[in-house]
Amino acid sequence: MPRYKLTLEYDGGGLVGWQRQENGPSVQAHLEAAVERFCGERVTVHGAGRTDAGVHALGQTAHLDLVRDFAAEEVRGALNHHLRPAPIAVLAVERVADDFDARRSAKGRLYLYRILNRRAPLALERGRVWHVGPPLDGAAMQEAARHLLGRHDFTTFRDSLCQAKSPVKTLDRLEVERIGEEIRITAGARSFLHHQVRNMVGTLKLVGAGKWRPEDVARALAARDRRCGGPTAPAEGLYLVSVLY
C-alpha cells in the first residue's frame, strides 16, 4: 500500500483540535472524510502532533496509506477540493517509505506563540493571537526563558491530564522577540508535554508584566509542581510551525 506524507496548515478556531472526537469537527475527521469522498477508501490519518482545540498549524505533518496508487499532486488537489469549506489546506503531498511515521519518525517540533501587546482591541487578529493590553517587558521575558533551556523535569509546566510517560524533556530553543506591538515566542524540542508551551508562555507573561522576576521561573521549574507555575496561555496564540525529520 502506498504511503503518503501530508503537510498541512489550518485555522484551529472552531475545531476541537487534531484528534477525531464526538463533540465537534476535528482536523483528522475532516481529512478522513475528504479521502473517502476522493477515492472511496476509509483510512486513518496519523498526525505528528495532537494540537488542541483553537491551536493553529502552519506546517503540521500527517501520513496515510491508500490501496490505490495515485500521483502525489493528484492526492493534494483532490483533498483540497473535498476539504472545502473547512479551514484546512494540504500544502504538499509526497510518497514516502512504508516505515515513515508522522509522529514516531519526527526529530523535532517547532512552535510559535504570538502575543499582541497593545491597548487597542483586536480587529484583524481576533482568534489568532493572545491580546494583552498592559505593556510587557520582552527583554525580561527572554532572560527568564533562558532558565528553561536544556533537559529538565517539566512537571511545573505539564497539564494534569498529560499522558506522557516521563515529565523529562529537552528544550532546545525558547526565544522571545518583540516586533513592534507583537511578542513572538518560539519553542523547539523533539517533543513537548501536553500544554507545555502554553504553560511556559503563561509563566513568561507574568515576568513581562513585572509580577515575577526572571529568576522566579527557575524556582518554579525546580519545584516540579504545576501549582508553582503561571497560568495556561490561551490556545488561539499557538501555532505548530513545522515538524523536523
Query: In the numeric block, which cell numbers belong to residue 138?
Result: 520582552
Query: Distance between alpha carbon 160 and the CA centroid of its chain, in Å?
Result: 18
Q: 243 - beta bridge partners?
A: 109
For this structure, is 52 an active site residue?
Answer: yes
Catalytic residue (one of 11, 52, 153, 172)? 52
Calpha distance 144→212 (Å, rounded): 9
Could you tell me what percentage of the chain is helix, strand and coil, using 3-state DSSP and rounding each to the nearest 5?
30, 30, 40
Calpha distance 230→205 (Å, rounded): 8
CA-CA-CA-CA torsion sign (194, 102, 109, 19): negative
CA-CA-CA-CA torsion sign (128, 133, 134, 137): positive
Spatial contact of 51 and 27, defined as CB atoms under 8 Å apart: yes
Catalytic residues: 52
